[in-house]
Amino acid sequence: MQQKIREFLDHLLVERGLAENTISAYHNDLTQYFHFLEIQGVGSWTETTQERIGDFLQSLKERGLSSSSAARKLAALKTFYHYLLQTQVITENPTISLERPKTGRYLPKVLNQHEVQQLLDQPSLAPRERAILELLYSGGLRVSELTKVNISDVNLHEGHLRMVGKEGKERIIPLSETAIQAIEVYLKQVRPTQKSRPQERALFLNYAGRRLSRQCIWKIVKEAARTAAISIDITPHTLRHSFAIHLLEKGVDIRSVQELLGHADISTTQIYAHVSKRRMKGGVERSA
């Protein structure tokens, strides 16, 4: 049974080209499911049923798993069983009629304008770290997108970034003056001194001269938040959320925000509009 999980993960990597962190999530979810089946005495994928999957999800719920996490695990199982069906390991998909658990509306945590400045204006920030933080906020980038940015994607003369997001969708993102300045300093003072392979095109490098990983960017954001004494627990995505909220609070229309964020569905962007209205009702301080 484990061999089929390995083959599935190879399929995701080679055939579908999914990111390593996504494949890792699939691996964790399916391994947890496999161990559950093992305890139940199930020895073949053909023996699994809709009831078994329901029991697995119920066991997780009893252990305090959130609805959103349960929904993610079910999505992983649905994809895996679809693969088993396609490769003729099974003749019927037991997940076909299982419905996604209902989840509450997710309201993202955001920084106010003062906290953003508190984060970005730290004198102790190194040029690379400053450029990364400025780009995360000014561009509203996903951390996975930031890891893929190449030097050629940044046009400092015209002040924009070319970004290829999910499903290969390209968008042009205007950059703030502070972001442009931070990237210029990094490119002039730091990037040329970093050890790298001649063919390395990445904008941001680690100390080994390779493209920065998601984990490294997370650490940079966490450390910057700590030294800036930011009171809430933030991640790189917090800067993306804050970027969206601040645009809406400045009067930018929601369709433009959708385009800048690279959302395929306007309903995703509308969550930010809900948060913005809630903040305004609550009297949250905003910058002009």
Q: How far apart are CA 57 and CA 94, in angstroms?
A: 14
> Which residues are CB-contacts of 29 (< 8 A; sequence separation ≥ 6)?
72, 73, 76, 77
Selected catalytic residue, list 73, 130, 246, 263 = 263
Domain end, chosen from 45, 68, 86, is at 86
Q: Are residues 42 and 168 in the same domain?
A: no
3-state percent breakdown (helix, strand, coil) of the chain, nearest 5:
60, 5, 35
Q: Do β-strands 160-164 and 170-174 pair in parallel, antiparallel, or remain unpaired? A: antiparallel
Q: Does the residue 57 lie in any domain?
A: yes
Q: Are residues 154 and 192 in the same domain?
A: yes
Q: Does the residue 94 lie in any domain?
A: no
Q: Are residues 129 and 68 in the same domain?
A: no
Q: Are residues 74 and 163 in the same domain?
A: no
Q: Does the residue 17 lie in any domain?
A: yes
Using the 8-state DSSP alphabet, how is residue 108 labeled? -
Domain end, chosen from 86, 121, 139, is at 86
Please check whether residue 180 is in contact with residue 127, taking contact to mean a CB–CB distance below 8 angstroms.
no
Q: How far apart are CA 225 and CA 37, in angstroms?
A: 42
**CATH number for the domain including 46?**
1.10.150.130
Structurally, the chain folds into a number of domains equal to 2
Residue found by looking up tokens 């693969």 in the block: 83
Annotated active-site residue 263? The verdict is yes
Q: How far apart are CA 132 and CA 146, in angstroms?
A: 8
* CA distance to 24, 73, 185, per residue, from 76 (Å): 11, 5, 43
Residue found by looking up tokens 């609070």 in the block: 249
Selected catalytic residue, list 27, 61, 214, 237 = 237
Q: Does the residue 118 lie in any domain?
A: yes
Please check whether residue 174 is in contact with residue 190, taking contact to mean a CB–CB distance below 8 angstroms.
no
Residue found by looking up tokens 């945590």 in the block: 109
Please check whether residue 170 is in contact with residue 162, taking contact to mean a CB–CB distance below 8 angstroms.
yes
Q: Are residues 82 and 138 in the same domain?
A: no
Q: Are residues 263 and 144 in the same domain?
A: yes
Assigned token pair, 186: 């990094």
Q: Are residues 75 and 133 in the same domain?
A: no
User: What single letter denotes the amino acid at residue 177?
Assistant: E
The predicted pLDDT at position 118 comes to 95
Annotated active-site residue 210? The verdict is no
Neighbours of 187 (CB within 10 A): 16
Selected catalytic residue, list 100, 166, 197, 250 = 166
Q: Are residues 120 and 165 in the same domain?
A: yes
Selected catalytic residue, list 142, 191, 211, 246 = 142
Distance of CA 272 to the CA centre of its chain: 16
Assigned token pair, 72: 């993610």
> Which residues are CB-contacts of 191 (< 8 A; sequence separation ≥ 6)?
151, 203, 205
The predicted pLDDT at position 222 comes to 93
Annotated active-site residue 279? The verdict is no
Q: Are residues 131 and 234 in the same domain?
A: yes
Q: Does the residue 210 lie in any domain?
A: yes
Selected catalytic residue, list 72, 73, 240, 241 = 240
Dihedral angle computed from the Cα positions of residues 189, 193, 197 and 202, in that order, rounded to the nearest 10 degrees:
-20
Q: Does the residue 219 lie in any domain?
A: yes
| Kind and range of the H or E run holding 162 | strand 160-164
Assigned token pair, 37: 């089946």
Q: Does the residue 66 lie in any domain?
A: yes
Q: Are residues 35 and 163 in the same domain?
A: no
Q: Are residues 139 and 81 in the same domain?
A: no
Domain end, chosen from 67, 86, 105, is at 86
Q: Are residues 29 and 76 in the same domain?
A: yes
Selected catalytic residue, list 26, 33, 186, 272 = 272
The predicted pLDDT at position 58 comes to 79
What is the domain extent for residue 126? 113-281
Please indicate, yes or no, whether the overall pTM of this predicted structure exceeds 0.85.
no
**CATH number for the domain including 194?**
1.10.443.10
Annotated active-site residue 281? The verdict is no
Neighbours of 33 (CB within 10 A): 22
| Kind and range of the H or E run holding 217 | helix 214-227
Q: Does the residue 107 lie in any domain?
A: no
For 91, the 3-state DSSP assignment is coil
Identify any residues that bridge with 171 across adjacent strands, giving them in sequence order. 163
Using 50 as the pLDDT threshold, list the residues of the chain that sit under it. 283-288
